[in-house]
């Protein structure tokens, strides 16, 4: 996927350097924020972020890809400011993201995250609720203590994104109890769960840097559609991803009966493979022995999804959302090298393997 404009060698972008910069600038501020928590919440949060292990010993855990902090710093530059201006925004977004992970893992009963036991598994449900709440509160605190009009605007937008995140989780839960979910409903849910916070990450630095609403909204549009592209790729990896790269089981999303994009697209496609898939999944939903299904049984379901066109549709959807994201950048007058970096991050999101 080529960037929207011809790459100038002088602006050639190293995505890993961008991600690293986000981590380097945001992590110390994030750690200082978490250190404000009263015991034992500080320890529980440090475990969640992978800074210590379950016994309290220092650890160097996988803190995730850190796309959000990188975007937040970049968006400050989109407003013509230093990347540092975006740091409180990067930290606030990371805090909200991790608040939602803590609560979602508990609600969904997920026992593993980033190759480790989840917080509710190690420290109990009450701590998962409590520390999630504390991280959410900290996110607002970090922004509002800046005391500027811009910070108030940023907090307001972050709050709206958080509400969308919560709406998305509510939809996700309600869809689990339904036989059929439409492609539109699935995209709406993924827009809420993934798009809204990436939209906020992609604009919050600019908002803190004094960007007007038009620029902020264009950057949000970029982030929202980048989020949908990200999620489409995630849904592909959730079925066909390499377990060594993703850290998840084979056919992970199928094992969890997740109504992800490839599944709903395959079911909506019609035709023999689609019909057969619908029959099989309806039986699976009633099965009491589902967890003991063999590799071959899951592989057969994945093959039907592919045959019905769900895999190709989702890959196409990722490319479509990627294109809409890049188009949104046209509405923001930003330095060419900053635009090239936004483009490089978008490219990275759709070609990643984990």
Contact footprint for a second copy (CB under 8 A): 38, 40-41, 99, 103, 106-107, 125-126, 129-130, 132-134, 136-138, 140-141, 144-145, 147, 149, 151-152, 155-156, 159-160, 162-163, 166-167, 169-171, 173-174
Smallest gap from residue 178 Cβ to a second copy (A): 13
Question: Is 138 or 218 the residue whose CB approaches a second copy more closely?
Answer: 138
Tokens at residue 328, please? Answer: 């949104």
**Cβ proximity to a second copy, 100 vs 231, nearer residue:** 100
Radius of gyration of the chain (CA): 20
**Pairing assessment for the beta strands 116-117 and 112-113 based on DSSP bridges:** antiparallel
Looking from the CA of 328 toward its CB, the CA atoms found within 13 Å total 26
Nearer to a second copy, 150 or 253 (CB): 150
Residue whose entry in the numeric block shows the structure tokens 């250190």: 35
Longest dimension (CA), the chain: 61
Nearer to a second copy, 125 or 270 (CB): 125
Give min distance, CB of 170 to a second copy, in A.
6
Q: Which CB sits closer to a second copy, 169 or 341?
A: 169
CB atoms within 10 A of CB 291: 7
Q: Cite the DSSP H helix spans in the chain.
A: 15-35, 41-48, 67-78, 87-108, 119-123, 125-144, 149-176, 183-190, 196-208, 213-240, 243-246, 252-255, 261-269, 272-286, 295-307, 310-328, 336-351
- Nearer to a second copy by Cβ, of 130 and 315: the residue is 130
CB of 209 to a second copy, least distance (A): 17
Nearer to a second copy, 174 or 337 (CB): 174
Q: Are 185 and 261 in contact (CB under 8 A)?
A: no
CA 89 – CA 59 distance, rounded (Å): 26
- DSSP annotation of 291 reads G
CB of 165 to a second copy, least distance (A): 9
Cβ 353 to a second copy, closest distance in Å? 32
CB of 321 to a second copy, least distance (A): 23
Least separation in angstroms between residue 21's CB and a second copy is 29
CA 342 from centroid of its chain's CA atoms: 16
Q: Answer whether 179's CB lies under 8 Å from 152's CB.
A: no
Cβ at position 197, least distance to a second copy in Å: 13
Residue (169 or 231) nearer to a second copy, CB: 169
On whether the CB atoms of residues 87 and 25 are closer than 8 A, the answer is yes
């Amino acid at each position: 996927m080529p960037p929207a404009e011809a790459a100038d060698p002088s602006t050639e972008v190293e995505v890993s350097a961008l991600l690293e910069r986000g981590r380097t600038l945001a992590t110390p501020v994030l750690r200082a924020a978490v250190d404000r928590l009263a015991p034992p919440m500080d320890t529980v949060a440090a475990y969640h972020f992978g800074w210590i292990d379950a016994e309290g010993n220092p650890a160097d855990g996988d803190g995730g890809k850190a796309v959000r902090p990188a975007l937040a710093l970049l968006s400050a530059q989109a407003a013509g400011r230093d990347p540092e201006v975006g740091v409180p925004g990067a930290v606030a977004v990371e805090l909200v993201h991790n608040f939602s992970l803590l609560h979602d893992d508990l609600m969904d009963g997920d026992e593993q995250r980033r190759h480790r036991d989840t917080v509710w598994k190690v420290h109990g449900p009450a701590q998962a609720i409590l520390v999630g709440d504390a991280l959410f509160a900290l996110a607002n605190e970090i922004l509002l203590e800046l005391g500027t009009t811009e910070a108030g605007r940023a907090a307001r937008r972050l709050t709206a994104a958080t509400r969308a995140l919560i709406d998305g989780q509510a939809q996700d839960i309600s869809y689990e109890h339904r036989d059929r979910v439409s492609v539109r409903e699935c995209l709406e849910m993924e827009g809420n769960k993934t798009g809204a916070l990436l939209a906020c990450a992609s604009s919050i630095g600019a908002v803190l840097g004094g960007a007007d609403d038009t620029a902020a909204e264009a950057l949000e549009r970029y982030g929202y559609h980048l989020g949908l592209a990200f999620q489409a790729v995630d849904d592909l990896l959730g079925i066909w991803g390499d377990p060594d790269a993703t850290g998840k089981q084979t056919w992970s999303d199928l094992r969890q009966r997740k109504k992800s994009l490839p599944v709903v697209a395959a079911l909506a496609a019609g035709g023999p493979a689609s019909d057969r898939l619908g029959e099989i999944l309806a039986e699976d939903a009633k099965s009491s022995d589902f967890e003991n299904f063999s590799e071959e049984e899951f592989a057969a379901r994945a093959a039907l999804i592919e045959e019905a066109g769900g895999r190709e549709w989702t890959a196409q959807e990722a490319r479509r959302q990627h294109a809409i994201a890049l188009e949104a950048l046209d509405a923001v007058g930003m330095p060419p090298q900053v635009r090239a970096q936004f483009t490089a991050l978008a490219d990275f999101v759709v070609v990643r393997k984990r």
